[in-house]
């Protein structure tokens, strides 16, 4: 598998928040129940999103989480990067200190690093597909075929 369940859970969490009216906190418990995910584990997942300043939080009773920005302005590359760390197709692509992505292969006796060419293209393909998808699109998609909401949510 390419992405771990952190990405899956985190994206579902973001979509769930996107479905709520903004500025109104949603508790993790509500999301855990709605999606059938373990609450304690979701806490760790949402912590990454908070550190990346994609969501904001309020503590205490009636606290919860909400999107830090409108869903239209949140690219899924930001979300996945926050959840999974740098998007690198291969070990040698990650520089531990800076989290920047590069290739640490030795010059390979003067030859060009052929695999680097391949992994760079793959990485580009992934990042492009993530960048061109906004959270708002996913939220919209998740509403398809839903009954028209009535009085109470």
Partner DNA sequence: AAATAACCTACCCTGCTGGTAGGATTTAGC
Partner DNA sequence: GCTAAATCCTACCAGCAGGGTAGGTTATTT
Residue 18 C-alpha from the chain's centroid: 13
Print the binding letters for residues 50-89 with DNA: x by CB under 7 A, - otherwise. x------xxxxxxxxx------------------------
Beta bridge partners, 137, equal none
The single-letter DSSP state of residue 91 is: G
Q: Does 48 bind a second copy (CB under 8 A)?
A: no
Contacts with DNA: how many residues (CB under 7 A)? 26
Residue 149 contact partner, candidates DNA, a second copy, none, CB within 5 to 8 A by sort of partner: none
Q: Which of 33, 43, 53, 108 binds DNA (CB under 7 A)?
A: 43
Characterise 27 by phi-psi region: left (phi > 0), alpha (psi -120 to 50), beta (else).
beta
Distance CA 107, CA 82 (A): 31
Among 41, 86, 117, 128, binds DNA (CB under 7 A): 41
Of the CA atoms within 13 Å of residue 126, those in its CB half-sphere come to 16
**β-strand pairing of 55-58 with 64-67:** antiparallel
Query: CB of residue 29 vs DNA: minimum separation in angstroms?
Result: 5
| Region near DNA per CB under 7 A, out of 12-20, 36-44, 72-80, 95-103 | 36-44
Residue closest to 97 by CA, chosen among 107, 108, 86: 86
Interface residue list for a second copy (CB under 8 A) = 1-3, 5, 7-8, 11-12, 15, 76, 87-92, 94, 110-115, 117-119, 121-122, 124-126, 128-130, 132-133, 137-139, 141-147
């Amino acid at each position: 598998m390419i992405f771990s369940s952190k990405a899956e859970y985190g994206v579902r969490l973001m979509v769930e928040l996107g479905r709520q009216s903004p500025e109104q906190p949603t508790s993790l418990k509500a999301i855990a129940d709605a999606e059938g995910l373990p609450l304690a584990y979701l806490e760790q997942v949402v912590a990454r999103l908070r550190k990346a300043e994609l969501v904001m939080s309020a503590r205490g009773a009636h606290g919860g989480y909400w999107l830090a920005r409108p869903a239209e302005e949140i690219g899924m590359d930001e979300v996945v990067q926050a959840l999974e760390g740098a998007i690198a197709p291969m070990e040698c692509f990650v520089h531990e200190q800076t989290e920047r992505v590069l290739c640490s292969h030795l010059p390979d006796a003067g030859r060009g690093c052929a695999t680097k060419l391949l992994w760079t293209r793959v990485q580009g393909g992934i990042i492009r597909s993530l960048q061109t998808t906004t959270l708002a699109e996913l939220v919209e998609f998740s509403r398809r075929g839903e009954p028209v909401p009535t009085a109470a949510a």
